[in-house]
Chains A and B, each alone.
Chain A
Amino acid sequence: MKIDPEKCISCLECIDFCPMGCISEGDPTVQIDQEECVECGVCFRVGVCPTDAIYLPEESRQYPRVIRAQFSDPDVEHPGLKQGGRGTEEMKTNDVTGRYRRGEFGMALEFGRPGTGTRLGELEKVMTVLCSMGIPVEEANPVYNLLANPKTGEMKPEARKEKVLSAILEFKIKEDQLEHMVKTLIPVLDQLNTVVSWGLATRFAQDGTLPVRSRLKALGFSVRPNAKINMGLGRPMVEE
């Protein structure tokens, strides 16, 4: 996003709305730091500018810069996927897709969340480790389209420095891989220059419990008391 200096009256109203904190009072008008802007469009969409000085410049629509909006503005679609957002249907429709079966865990590592943003190159540091363990990156996730080599997790060079609000590394593991995978990834996450919100999708056991919670506790995770739960109302339901 940019601010038209001919229109800006330096009222400063837009500054607080920026999730990346990259709008500041400049000389002679308010400015957006183009290195830090993730093209989320919040400053424009909330309609806070009294003179309509905020706009999306043509260069923000050009590759690779356009990647920023694709991951940061929920209303912008990813090419090829024909949908906005950062990820897939994951467990939201698991009752009708059967994507995560008993004996499997879905994993979602969301880089840059909450609120810090991330350079896409941070994902590569984890993807290469996963790929070396033989764990493939989810092909339906938009991150997959940024890979130069899906077998190694190497990212396209032009994507690495692009900054986004968040991007999700999705993959699936067998239940018995959990402990090894966690112990391998934690030291890698500790070295990142961003934060990661970690999600795990699991089927309820036949008795309605979530046995993985005790395994996660033993691994040192503080599993949050709140979660997303698919209530099993989708039809036709995938049974197994």
Chain B
Amino acid sequence: MSHALHRYGTQENLKNDYTMYARTSRWVNREGCGPKLRKILEIFLSENINNFGSSHAGKSYKAGLDPKEYAATLDKAYGVACCFSERDAIKRILKKLKEADTGISIVVSGLIDEIVAMGKEVGLKPHTAFLSLGIHGKKSLLPEDKVLEVTTMCGHGQVSTRLTQAVMDKVKSGKMTPGKGADLLAQPCPCGIFNTVRCTELLKDAGKKSR
């Protein structure tokens, strides 16, 4: 639940960070959902996808999940998760999903006003929103914001603070490129919603700020 909610960041560095999740309901439309999920995966893959996966597959695209192998597992899945870094890709996918009319629920995470606007542009009326009301409790336990911007891209908390800090240090010292760092940080997140394009930009930015 809520694994694509609570992505930490600024209006600016969240603007090209979108996740999409096709989710069946165990009470309504899960039985025999495999062909529909495969159709949805095909639509996701038709655009410039950054990452995809699911916990039932055990790994993400960035950790080596093969699209065909993944598609074959979808008879026993309850959803397909992925992420993108381009607004226009999301808009085109929503249009294709509307035309495909699979009846499977689709959830998009990203900047609220952008998603609502895209819905209007393709003739969709958003149904329900899940808002993030921030972090409460003992906030002294938290790492610095630039680390949270990276780690919260895995909603199951599988990307560690320590690994993020280690990668940031290597990028700063020139021992690792931001792209390689982002690929490494994506490895622990099995759901495929860790956006390596955004992470690369965050790592570049962290490097600049330290100089």
What string of 1s and 0s marks CB contacts (under 8 Å) between A94-136 and chain B? 1111001000001010111111110000000000000000000
Is A228 touching B109 in the complex (CB atoms < 8 A)?
A: yes
A4 at the interface (CB under 8 A from B): no
A201 at the interface (CB under 8 A from B): yes
What string of 1s and 0s marks CB contacts (under 8 Å) between B17-59 and chain A? 1000101111111000000000000000000000000011011
A218 at the interface (CB under 8 A from B): no
Known: A92-B23, A234-B105. A199 touches B132 (CB 8 A): yes
Stretch from A55-63, A144-152, A209-217 at the B interface: A209-217
Known: A87-B1, A193-B138, A208-B116. A202 touches B14 (CB 8 A): no
Tally of contacts, chain A with chain B, CB under 8 A: 297
Docked CA distance A42–B108 (Å): 26
Is B130 touching A18 in the complex (CB atoms < 8 A)?
A: no
A15 at the interface (CB under 8 A from B): yes
Docked CA distance A17–B153 (Å): 15
Is B127 touching A231 in the complex (CB atoms < 8 A)?
A: yes
Interfacial chain B residues near A74, Cβ < 8 Å? 55, 156, 158, 190-191
Docked CA distance A111–B141 (Å): 13
A157 at the interface (CB under 8 A from B): no
Interfacial chain B residues near A46, Cβ < 8 Å? 63, 187-188
B74 at the interface (CB under 8 A from A): no
> Which of B124, B128, B142, B156 is in CB contact (< 8 Å) with A94?
B128
Is A189 touching B156 in the complex (CB atoms < 8 A)?
A: no
Docked CA distance A100–B129 (Å): 10
Is A192 touching B138 in the complex (CB atoms < 8 A)?
A: yes
Docked CA distance A33–B185 (Å): 23
Interfacial chain A residues near B206, Cβ < 8 Å? none
B203 at the interface (CB under 8 A from A): no
What string of 1s and 0s marks CB contacts (under 8 Å) between A169-196 and chain B? 0100000000000000010011011111
Is B136 touching A196 in the complex (CB atoms < 8 A)?
A: yes
List the interface of chain B (C-beta within 8 A of A). Answer: 1-9, 11, 14, 17, 21, 23-29, 55-56, 58-59, 63, 78-79, 94, 97-98, 101-113, 115-116, 119-120, 124-139, 141-143, 148, 151-152, 156-163, 166, 187-188, 190-191
